[in-house]
Chain A
């Protein structure tokens, strides 16, 4: 033991605990746990926030045993590709057993954050009644609950500060869940119900806002009328984050004038989103807010055309985060590049999946952004076409990318000018961006791009691949090269058994691997499962006509494997086979 450790161990545990309190990052806390037994014990008893990236990697009892005093739990359920309809309904990811276990073991839960999990009304009700200090609920891309569950949260969580519903599929019973917040509830800091479809009682909403003087973040759904929005804003000029659901009015009415007047006073709004329904001629009333905006999300506002988008953005000089539809066009992106010098994160979503391919955005927009926005570090870009030259230029202009996700609308489109694969372009990105943690590639790609990724992407933690590569070599380059890889997801690529089985130990260093429509066979998956008892190798079988199991040589359509401490899960549906 070194001198430093001797000194540290001399201090009583309370001192160690106090020191560890300053460690907020999970990585740091995990690191100190490994130093010695004493530090492990002090750390585990003092950890307040627990993050579980795969709910099936552990069970609640193990978590509670190790961290008896945690107050905040983050859980993620389904694999990422579930977002794109690749995972059947009823696959799993239920939060109920977690809430039951936490309640039973007397955990003093204050915060619960769930992503891609199945949440029932029963779970929400149990949650609302079991934890008297419960303060914050965040649900992202979850499903299985209705507004009845929200009513329970509103009714029973006396100190609720945060109710944040992002992009969930909620069964809206058009009841009065919002009216269930008692008059005594004044603690709300953040309320986001933009994803709900039904109406809420306008008067109840106004009263709730009026009595929650600490409210900083409010995102409304499209059913809240403009008059209500205006009254709310009068009551809550202190808002930092505003989501406008419906922005439809006749610009010549009194209610519009009133709204315009109150918007001029909303000087503290830094983040703006929504506009699910919008009359573009009302947008000028938003201009006063634009000057202070650091975050703008118009990706759910297809009603705003390029010209109006540009008129808004040209006023947003402090923007750090912009989410937008590709209706903005390359010209619009040039305006962004010229205006938003503080931009760090850009997401450009496709506006039309089924149409006759209007030229949306191309490599030109991306190059313009890279040239104009030196602080850019995170991008998600859906585009019509791309070129190696453009990607090489982007790599030169922006070496600071942490997240780089490029999605060509045609998944195997080559370089638009040279007709070559886009290997060199992505190669330039990984070579230049030494801090790159997340990468999604698309377009025509050979094994070469994976050679580059394996060679240069040293910090890469998550890689998404579709319709790429020529042979097992591609996947091998990645598995052998990317030492920090945590999540690998592959679809429709010619990687097979040789790649899958070449380094089975690698998968225990990763959170998960997804492979669908690749070349791996049932036999290879069985072999892998036999060799690695601490992995769950799950096959998703959607062939209803099949009787019994496939032959070893049959290709497996969907395989999802993940490391776990608790063996095969007991809640798997009949179409999921754990080998």
Chain B
């Protein structure tokens, strides 16, 4: 049942959002299911998702109250070997989304990029319904989720190359709270 690497699931190369359940609970194993929660964050997260009937929410409510309108979009990061997918409906706003992006790619300065900092070599952009590439953060969050088709974490150097001064553009974002 347990992965024997002892390192937790974060280090495994997987496609999918972190924390998604991949463990399996074997019916016949004697060890208490719940004791695995002591074994460290990553595995606990997976097990949590596998325990039948927890959290104790009525089956009817489970089927009917969760936001079934999942908004999965592809996210690419320049230099990363493969793309990820992220569910926009799972996030409440830009700062929340940026945190998730940072975790996905292990690049922890995307948030700074939105706040007018120079230290990040990346800038987050998205493709909208019209096929145009837009800078993240200009429009209200709800409008963004409706119009975003895919995300890209682009190297600033690329942006400079086509005459965009990302630093100047990003300055405007720091005044907005989303």
**Which residues of A come within 8 Å of B, CB atoms?**
81, 83-86, 141, 167-169, 195, 276, 280, 299-303, 305-306, 325, 327, 349-358, 382, 407, 409-413, 440, 464, 466-467, 491-492, 494, 517, 543
B91 at the interface (CB under 8 A from A): yes
Of B33, B52, B59, B67, the residue contacting A83 (CB under 8 A) is B59
CA distance A356 to B99 in the complex (A): 11
Q: Which residue of A lies closest to B67 (CB)?
A: A302
21 pairs from A and B in contact (CB 8 Å cutoff): A84-B54, A84-B58, A84-B59, A85-B53, A195-B64, A299-B61, A299-B65, A305-B92, A349-B65, A351-B67, A353-B57, A354-B49, A356-B19, A382-B57, A407-B56, A409-B48, A411-B37, A412-B38, A464-B56, A466-B56, A492-B33
| Contact (A84, B65) CB under 8 Å given A356-B17, A492-B34 | no
Q: Check if A349 sits within 8 Å of B19, measured CB to CB.
A: no
Q: Check if A351 sits within 8 Å of B60, measured CB to CB.
A: no
CA distance A440 to B60 in the complex (A): 20
Q: Which residues of B contact A276 (CB under 8 A)?
A: 64
Q: Which residues of B contact A303 (CB under 8 A)?
A: 67
Q: Check if B96 sits within 8 Å of A353, measured CB to CB.
A: no
A86-B52, A301-B65, A409-B48 known; 19 new pairs, CB 8 Å cut-off, are A83-B58, A83-B59, A84-B58, A85-B53, A86-B53, A167-B60, A302-B65, A302-B67, A306-B92, A325-B65, A349-B65, A350-B55, A411-B34, A412-B37, A440-B56, A466-B54, A467-B37, A517-B33, A543-B27
Per-position contact with A for B126-164: 1 when CB-CB < 8 Å, else 0?
Answer: 000000000000000010000000000000000000000
Per-position contact with A for B91-111: 1 when CB-CB < 8 Å, else 0?
Answer: 110001000100100000000
Q: Which residues of B contact A83 (CB under 8 A)?
A: 56, 58-59
CA distance A23 to B32 in the complex (A): 49
Of A84, A327, A543, the residue contacting B57 (CB under 8 A) is A84
CA distance A412 to B36 in the complex (A): 10
Of B60, B66, B90, B142, the residue contacting A169 (CB under 8 A) is B60
CA distance A408 to B27 in the complex (A): 24
CA distance A127 to B45 in the complex (A): 48
B34 to chain A, nearest CB (A): 4
| Contact (A356, B18) CB under 8 Å given A85-B59, A167-B61, A195-B60 | yes
Q: Check if B90 sits within 8 Å of A355, measured CB to CB.
A: yes
Q: Check if B57 sits within 8 Å of A350, measured CB to CB.
A: yes
CA distance A467 to B38 in the complex (A): 12
CA distance A303 to B65 in the complex (A): 9
Q: Which residues of A contact B169 (CB under 8 A)?
A: none
Q: Which residues of A contact B17 (CB under 8 A)?
A: 356
In order of increasing CB-CB distance, the 10 nearest A-B pairs are A84-B53, A302-B67, A467-B34, A167-B60, A412-B37, A83-B58, A300-B65, A84-B56, A355-B90, A356-B19
A498 to chain B, nearest CB (A): 18
B44 to chain A, nearest CB (A): 7
Q: Check if A407 sits within 8 Å of B55, measured CB to CB.
A: yes
CA distance A357 to B41 in the complex (A): 12
B51 at the interface (CB under 8 A from A): yes
Q: Which residues of A contact B59 (CB under 8 A)?
A: 83-85
A291 to chain B, nearest CB (A): 26
Q: Check if B34 sits within 8 Å of A412, measured CB to CB.
A: yes
B112 at the interface (CB under 8 A from A): no
B11 at the interface (CB under 8 A from A): no
Q: Which residue of B lies closest to A411 (CB)?
A: B54
Q: Which residues of B contact A325 (CB under 8 A)?
A: 65
B65 to chain A, nearest CB (A): 5
| Contact (A352, B64) CB under 8 Å given A357-B19, A407-B56, A410-B37 | no
CA distance A350 to B57 in the complex (A): 8
B87 at the interface (CB under 8 A from A): yes
CA distance A382 to B55 in the complex (A): 8
CA distance A355 to B96 in the complex (A): 13
| Contact (A353, B62) CB under 8 Å given A84-B56, A358-B92, A411-B51 | yes
CA distance A301 to B68 in the complex (A): 11
Q: Which residue of B lies closest to A557 (CB)?
A: B27
B160 to chain A, nearest CB (A): 33
A159 to chain B, nearest CB (A): 30
Q: Which residues of A contact B57 (CB under 8 A)?
A: 84, 349-350, 353, 382
B141 to chain A, nearest CB (A): 9
Q: Which residues of A contact B49 (CB under 8 A)?
A: 354
Q: Which residue of A lies closest to B27 (CB)?
A: A543
